[in-house]
Amino acid sequence: MLNGKGQIELARERLVKAVNQVLGVVRRNGRSRKVGLALVLTVLVGGRASVRNAAETFGLDYANLLEALGELDGTWRDYLEVLSGLVKGQVAVIIDDTVDHKEYSRGRDVSPHGNYWIYCHAHGRFERGVQLLTVA
């Protein structure tokens, strides 16, 4: 029987393998790593995006993508179950994906702080976006 640390390491390894499997399906079909990471994040945050629509949108093999995302979903749930057994007390996970309207933050196309471009419907143009993940 594995101890708590051994269980979390095993669950983490399985999760990493499942993420790499999704990235492999995407990369084999000539799509960028960013597309793969977007699909991975959709599963991790509990998104309900259609696998068929994603496969058609990005020109991916539906059966392979469905299998890879299903495996990722299962390993993610297993990982969270192992974590929940180790963590005592309440945990809050906050994911913020927002537009930064500050003019001075648009100085560079690539930011070392995780910024990216996102379409702002309020201004009708692409603007700097920021993703923030907080776990407490």
| pTM tops 0.85, yes or no | no
State how far the Cα of 18 lies from the Cα of 71, in Å rounded to an integer: 6
State how far the Cα of 13 lies from the Cα of 37, in Å rounded to an integer: 17
State how far the Cα of 84 lies from the Cα of 90, in Å rounded to an integer: 10
Q: Which of 5-14, 17-26, 120-129 has the lowest mean pLDDT?
A: 120-129
Mean pLDDT, residues 101-127:
60
Helices 4-28 and 62-86 pack at an angle, to 10 degrees, of: 160
Place of tokens 């708590």: 4
Host H or E run for residue 86 = helix 62-86
Predicted confidence (pLDDT) per residue in 13-42, tens digit: 998 999 999 889 888 888 888 888 888 887
Residue 60 has pLDDT above 80, yes or no: yes
**What residues form DSSP beta bridges with 116?**
129
